A and B are shown apart, each in its own frame.
Chain A
Amino acid sequence: MREISLLDRILLLVTGLLSAYQIAVGIEGLGSLAVTCYTIAFGVLLVAGLILIILGFEALESPLVVVVAALIPLSLSLGLISQYIPTYQVSYMVFAVLGFLAIVVTRYLTPGKTATIALALVHGTAGLVIFALPIVLSLQGKTRPGFFLVGIGGGLIGIGGLLLTFLRAGRTILSARMIYTLLPILLLMMTAAFVVGLAIA
């Protein structure tokens, strides 16, 4: 296990501060569902950043990480749907809640293949929404062009999720050391992309 360095801590602190800014200021004036969803997503990022700063990368070994981490793409995607295509918000909310429950239940009742499939399906769908929706909307001119940054953030969250999954599965596309080196950078870039993208949407 790689020890967390000062640079990692600084990157995570900036991630936390950006998340706190987004929760406090960046989502003012949105609908209550969007505000709740973004608060959950950036709240998880804030608390996770602080916990990583304090406990180091060992914290990622907790079995709760997969479940808590799923909250980020699910709530972000629900927030985006609620904000930009509200006609789908109820059906997507049902998907998000059921998807989250499926991740929790399969992880504890039927760990193994079923849990992995449930995680991949739910994560994949949410990730696709975060990645594609902002890019499509900005290309269609329904939002400002800068909104595509949220899609970039979605792409980065997907890369981060993949790296962590490989790490937990013990498959080495990249060494564990390299993954731990990349993780704080990815988290910061992803958060910055979301914050800037949502600000200039």
Chain B
Amino acid sequence: MMIQSIGQKVRRRLGAYWKLVKSLQTGLLLLTGLAGYMSARCPVITWRTLLALTGSLFLAISGSTVLNMVYDRDIDAQMKRTCNRPLPLGQVSATEAFVLGAGLSILGIGWAFILYPIYGTVVFAGFFFDVVVYTIWLKRRTAWSILWGGIAGGMPILAGRTLGVGQIDWIGLLLSMAVLLWIPTHILTFNLRHKADYQASGVPTFPFVYGDRGTNLAIALSSVVASVAMGIAAYGIGMTWGYLRVLAVLSTGLFFLAVSSVVRPSVKLNFGLFKFASIYMLSSMLLVLVETM
């Protein structure tokens, strides 16, 4: 009976931790890291390195996500979308979450440094830009903070690529830029969808500062540049024409939806763009992975 109750408590706690990690977002960023690594077509790819990359990136990304949640728990409590997260609900205390986030981050970044120092540096840079620059310093001050959030989001793919080729190269930077520019599409469509929520919490967002039209324009522009960067990077990787064609088709779809949302803005279309942008990034990464296997 007692063992059963302890088991339930542990399961509940782990469930709350899993929510703190934001498994979908972390999973997508992890996938970009794996794609970056595989894109190197390194002749000495081993399962050990691949597992170490997966483990270290997962820990580092999860850690920074948890720390962000700790810092933003007051904002999360004010927003309908996020008020059911474990911290605002009191399922996990701030101290406990901080210890968890810091622990995961130290383990992840430490493991990355042991694996390869330059790789570790990039992983650390991702952590630093995400937690310190984006969340702590800029998120509550300027709508342009998303740019730094974007830079942080582009670090896993750069880290993966760096581990694969042994140095930071132009393809890695372009891949990173593609993710960087995709992130505004993702976040800004979210900002538009939950505008009232963000306004209530006092976080400066693009729709609040530049209006819906300005935001839609920024989304369209970043989508176009992101897909161009992705296309050039894919060409640089040596992706075959067949896969490049699929990438071009998906880029055209993204461009079409982004332009439509400028010309005929609507909540539904905005939601469509948000989802399509996620599918675009997921597909791009899968194409890189499948192509290089």
Q: Which residues of A contact B (CB under 8 A)?
A: 20, 23-25, 27-28, 35, 39, 42-43, 46-47, 50-51, 54-55, 58-59, 64
User: Which stretch of B27-35, B89-97, B122-130, B268-276 is in the interface?
Assistant: B268-276
A51-B272, A54-B276 known; A23+B249 contact, CB < 8 A? yes
Contact with A along B241-252 (1 / 0, CB 8 A): 111011011101
Which residue of B256, B269, B275 contacts A47 across the interface (Cβ within 8 Å)? B256
A46 lies within 8 A of B249 (CB): yes
Chain A nearest Cβ from B6, distance in angstroms? 38
Point out the residues of chain B lying under 8 angstroms from A64, CB to CB: 260
Q: A51–B253 contact, CB under 8 A?
A: yes
Within 8 A of A (CB), among B223-265: 240-243, 245-246, 248-250, 252-253, 256-257, 260
Are the C-beta atoms of B249 and A43 separated by less than 8 Å? yes
Q: How many contacts A-B (CB < 8 Å)?
A: 52
B156 to chain A, nearest CB (A): 24
**Would you give the shortest CB distance from A69 to chain B, in whole angstroms?**
14
Nearest CB of A to B247, in Å: 9
**Chain B residues within an 8 Å CB radius of A20:** 246, 249
Which of B243, B246, B250, B272 has the most chain A CB atoms closer than 10 A to its own CB? B246
- Which residues does chain B contribute within 8 Å of A59, judged by CB atoms? 272
What separation, in Å, do the CA atoms of A177 and B254 have in the docked complex?
29
Query: A51-B272, A55-B268 provided; 11 other pairs, C-beta below 8 A?
Result: A20-B246, A23-B242, A24-B240, A24-B245, A39-B245, A39-B248, A42-B249, A47-B250, A54-B272, A54-B279, A58-B268
What chain A residues lie within 8 Å of B256 (beta carbons)?
A: 47
Contact B252 A28 (CB under 8 A): no
Do B242 and A28 touch (CB < 8 A)? Answer: yes
Size band of the interface chain B makes with A = 20 to 34
Query: A50–B279 contact, CB under 8 A?
Result: yes
The CA-CA distance from A51 to B246 in the complex, in Å, is 16
Cα distance, A53 to B276, chains bound together (Å):
10
Contact partner of B252 (CB less than 8 A), chosen from A35, A43, A55, is A43
Checking A23, A50, A58 against B246 with a beta-carbon cut-off of 8 angstroms, the contacting residue is A23
Q: Is the CB of A51 within 8 A of B276?
A: yes
Shortest Cβ distance from B79 into chain A, in angstroms? 24
CB of A28, distance to nearest CB on chain B (Å): 6
Q: List, sorted by A's number, 18 A–B pairs whose CB atoms are closer than 8 Å.
A: A23-B242, A23-B246, A24-B240, A24-B242, A25-B242, A28-B241, A39-B249, A42-B249, A43-B249, A46-B253, A47-B249, A47-B252, A50-B253, A51-B253, A51-B272, A54-B275, A55-B271, A55-B272
CB proximity of B185 to chain A, nearest CB, Å: 14
- Contacts of A28 on B, CB cut-off 8 Å? 241-242
| A24 lies within 8 A of B268 (CB) | no
Neighbouring A residues of B279 by C-beta, 8 Å: 50, 54
How many whole Å from A111's CB to the nearest CB in chain B? 17
Partner of A24, one of B246, B253, B276: B246
A55 to B7, CA, bound (A): 41
10 tightest A-B CB contacts, nearest first: A43-B249, A47-B253, A24-B242, A54-B275, A55-B272, A24-B246, A23-B245, A54-B272, A23-B246, A39-B245
Complex Cα spacing A25 to B249, Å: 14
With a cutoff of 8 Å between Cβ atoms, the chain B residues found around residue A24 in the complex are 240, 242-243, 245-246
B265 → chain A closest CB, angstroms: 14
Closest to A47 in B: B253
A24 to B260, CA, bound (A): 27
B257: chain A residues within 8 A (beta carbon): 51
**Complex CA–CA separation, A52 to B279 (angstroms):** 13
Q: Measured between C-beta atoms, what is the minimum distance from A4 to chain B in Å?
A: 13
In the complex, what's the smallest C-beta–C-beta distance from A19 to chain B, in angstroms? 8
Contact with A along B17-34 (1 / 0, CB 8 A): 000000000000000000
* Assembled-state Cα–Cα distance A20/B252 (Å): 14
Q: How far is the CB of B223 from chain A (nearest CB, A)?
A: 14
Q: Within the complex, what minimum Cβ distance (angstroms) separates A113 from chain B?
A: 26
Which chain A residues lie closer than 8 Å to B260 at the CB level?
A: 64
Bound together, the chains give a CA A40 to CA B275 distance in angstroms of: 22
Q: Give the residue name and chain of the A residue nearest to B243 (CB).
A: A24
**List of A residues within 8 angstroms of B253 by Cβ:** 46-47, 50-51
Please name the residue on chain B nearest to A39 by beta carbon.
Answer: B245
For residue B87, give the distance in angstroms from its CB to the closest CB of chain A. Answer: 31
Q: Which residue of B lies closest to A44 (CB)?
A: B249
Name the distance in Å between A59's Cβ and chain B's nearest Cβ.
Answer: 8
CA distance in complex: A50, B241 (Å): 22
